[in-house]
Amino acid sequence: MTQPTISPHHKKGSPAIAVVPSLLGHCAVQAGGLLGLEFQPITVEVASRRGPSLFQLAGLAETSVREARIRINSALSHLGITLDEFALTVNLAPANVRKSGSGLDLSIAVAILGAVEHIDSKATNDAVFLGEVALDGAIRAIPGILPLLDGARKNGIRNAYVPEPNAREAAQIHGMAIHAVRNLHSLVSHLQGETYLEPLKNVTFRPSQRRDADLSEVRGQLAAKRALIVSAAGHHNLLLVGPPGSGKSLLARRLTGLLPPLDAKQALETTAIHSIAGVLNSARGIIDVPPFRAPHHTVSEPGLIGGGSIPRPGELSLAHHGVLFLDEMPEFRRGALESLRQPLEDHEVHIVRARMRTRFPAHPLLVGAMNPCPCGNWGNPKTPCRCKPEARLRYLARISGPLLDRIDLHVLVPPVDLRAWTTKSGRAPALSSSEARKMVNRAREAQSIRYRSGDVSSGKNSLLGLQELERVADPTPEGKRLLEAAIDKNLLSARGYVRVLRVARTLADLEGTERPQVEHVGEALRYRLPDLSSIS
């Protein structure tokens, strides 16, 4: 029992006034935050007592969290609950972890209701509450609901309450009873036992077969189409160089149609990234096709690779398991382009801040497109180039050698021959995306067989190391001689040598041959040579 104390303000000789701290209640509710894709468990504790209206918030909360008091006070007033007679102390534990965003609103509101004994605090046990509370009590969607629920499930929590607009996304999580909440009134009624919110029915993932664009719509450009197939088959980065109007963007946008469909793990990982970034379509609830991202060349470095005071994924991570298309590549900021170099090798982005360190996966197919010169007409037989040689050199130098070295396939895309649109041969049925996808799938299956047998450490040729390539991509004697001739002429760097072997292995997989033949090595070299300096 709490012992009464004497008020420090009473005067000597006057009757002593016993001051008894009127502790009314205490409630703890589970919530969560995200550091990158990593779930951070948060416990919301609220202690209340009778007394002058007071609201104290502790626990390293940022502005959006501190403003929850305003939203929650208004929402509770719509339920006929006023907090004017209570002094509330809210603690967000652990206290040394920074909290941000409005996703803690619902957990704070529920903890307050438990502390003032409007609901039984036991009803909140083994449950996580996620959502933003509107002024009228509606529960609004929040970003990152998928990784939040997945993290809560891995932490042993078996019940969850999420905003109704996040329902389709939340239904992808299995192993939890997830309740979609429309407003605070329906949640309170459920927790009081007056009504019951049915748990969501889990959704079984099925990869989508829809494709937005078909390869057959591109007339001519047989060499570039071949490069697209090679890129998709071995997951090789691609650079398209050609004048304006040659179809570079048209080709790049058809690459996702050649990629294998996402499996359940890839879809959930990609969806989690889009959910954190707040760009997920709530009507779909999941990314079920390889994503295609095409940022404008004015994008900043954090916008491209990720960052910010509260780390968020950039375009590189949003294109994970899909295609990142950089049109007009030399026009991008030099710093933004150079920031791609390490993630292209590591396949993830590391973001370090003073108080936090996080990572985002980033393994898309990089497709760059550029003109051969500032005016775009160098090498165009119909339109003469107006650029001076030094201007062409400066333009091409905007893409550094180390970055070019990380791109396996360099392809010259010539101007479009309009006769391909008018002649009978041009109107003949062209290779479709479904036909090309069958070729890609056969090559990918050959890579998967080597991976499952333990011969290599990855099911993608683009990830194989030199020792693995010497074991599974050893060219025929004729192919070796061709490769040695290129080395003798100093036409390849050490990284370029490895990448030629990777591409040769993919070409052999497309043909169904056990070893790369001389023609495979020759084609792989042509994708590296001539380099950009040769067109200047």
Pair (337, 284) in one structural domain? yes
Pair (364, 457) in one structural domain? yes
pLDDT, position 428: 54
Q: Are 100 and 66 in contact (CB under 8 A)?
A: no
pLDDT, position 249: 93
Nearest to 421 by CA among 149, 220, 228: 220
Give the bridge partners for 27, in sequence order. Answer: 46
DSSP label of 224: H
pLDDT, position 47: 95
Rounded CA-CA distance 109/112 in Å is: 5
Pairing outcome for strands 306-307 and 18-19: unpaired
Last residue of a domain, one of 135, 158, 191: 191
Pair (262, 187) in one structural domain? no
Domain that holds residue 473: 215-535
Pair (159, 264) in one structural domain? no
Pair (351, 417) in one structural domain? yes
Tokens representing residue 43 in the block:
């416990």
Its pTM stands at: 0.88
* Chain mean pLDDT for the chain: 89
Nearest to 127 by CA among 157, 148, 167, 103: 157
Pair (428, 498) in one structural domain? yes
pLDDT in tens, 115-129: 999 999 889 999 999
Residue 164: its H or E element: none
pLDDT, position 246: 87
pLDDT, position 174: 93
Pair (56, 157) in one structural domain? yes
Rounded CA-CA distance 131/181 in Å is: 9
CATH code of the domain covering residue 325: 3.40.50.300
Task: Say whether 280 sits in a helix, a strand or coil.
Answer: coil
Burial class (CB in 10 A: 0-12, 13-18, 19+), 210: exposed
Give the residues of the chain that fall short of pLDDT 50. Answer: 1-11, 13-21, 531-536
Pairing outcome for strands 312-313 and 306-307: antiparallel
CATH code of the domain covering residue 28: 3.30.230.10
Residue 8: its H or E element: none
pLDDT in tens, 406-430: 899 999 998 877 665 665 555 556 7
Q: Are 286 and 271 in contact (CB under 8 A)?
A: yes
Domain count, the chain: 2
Pair (133, 275) in one structural domain? no
Tokens representing residue 145 in the block:
């609901």
Rounded CA-CA distance 18/285 in Å is: 59
Pair (132, 254) in one structural domain? no
pLDDT in tens, 230-251: 999 999 999 999 998 888 999 9
Pair (277, 143) in one structural domain? no
Rounded CA-CA distance 454/508 in Å is: 19
pLDDT, position 145: 95
Pair (245, 291) in one structural domain? yes
Structural domain contains residue 207: no
Structural domain contains residue 242: yes
Tokens representing residue 501 in the block:
């072997």
Phi and psi, residue 16, nearest 5°: -70, 135
